[in-house]
Amino acid sequence: MYNNRNSSFSFTAVGDYGQTSSTTANLNYIAGSGTSFNLALGDLNYDSATVSADDWSSYVRGHLPATFPFEIVVGEHDTAQIDALAADLPDRVGAISGTYAKEYFFDYPPGNPLARFIMVSPGGLVSGYQYTQGSPHYNWVASTIDNARAAHIPWVIADFLSQFSTQQVIESRKCSCERKAKDDACKSVVVGS
């Protein structure tokens, strides 16, 4: 059971980046915010026909501290470049479970976590990642949520591009948790970009 409820941390979460003056402003804000990490919620490079994954990643790294955790997950505009983007913007939080940039989770802070972050690719965008009820990936998300609850991790935060089948498993676990909770120990946040 989590026994230090006075601990806190902050993070940022942004999706639909592109490479505009607004993107630059957001990256500069993230860099100076003092947050522990950023969740890049997909749809990173909107101009993959003319901007390579290496160029886009260099643009991002040029605005952030060298080892800042900029944790990515694939979105609709990233499918062709996701492996290159993942190589250029690797996991820096550490201790993830799953496949970085496609389907993974991590607990934060490590050791005595306040939150479990679940990063899920939208069903059907990445070959082999389907979230229909009863499928291996649906079951992975469900068990990842259930295991966080069993470990008494106070917050479960899930990111996915809004696709009904992915949202369905997360919402079903959220409702199940909320029915069981009589106090403030069970919290879920669903983020859809």
Reported as a single tens digit per residue, the pLDDT across 32-85 is 999 999 999 888 998 888 999 999 999 999 999 999 999 999 988 888 999 999
Of residues 13 and 130, the one with the higher pLDDT is: 13
| Angle in degrees, CA 190, 130, 60, rounded to 5 | 60
* Segment of 4-13, 35-44, 123-132, 162-171 carrying the highest mean pLDDT: 35-44
Average pLDDT of the chain is 82
SS3 content of the chain, % helix, strand, coil (to 5): 35, 20, 45
Name all domains of the chain by residue range, CATH numbers in brackets: 12-192 (3.60.21.10)
CA-based nearest residue to 118, from 156, 81, 147, 88: 156
| C-alpha distance from residue 122 to each of 60, 129, 187 (Å) | 23, 8, 23
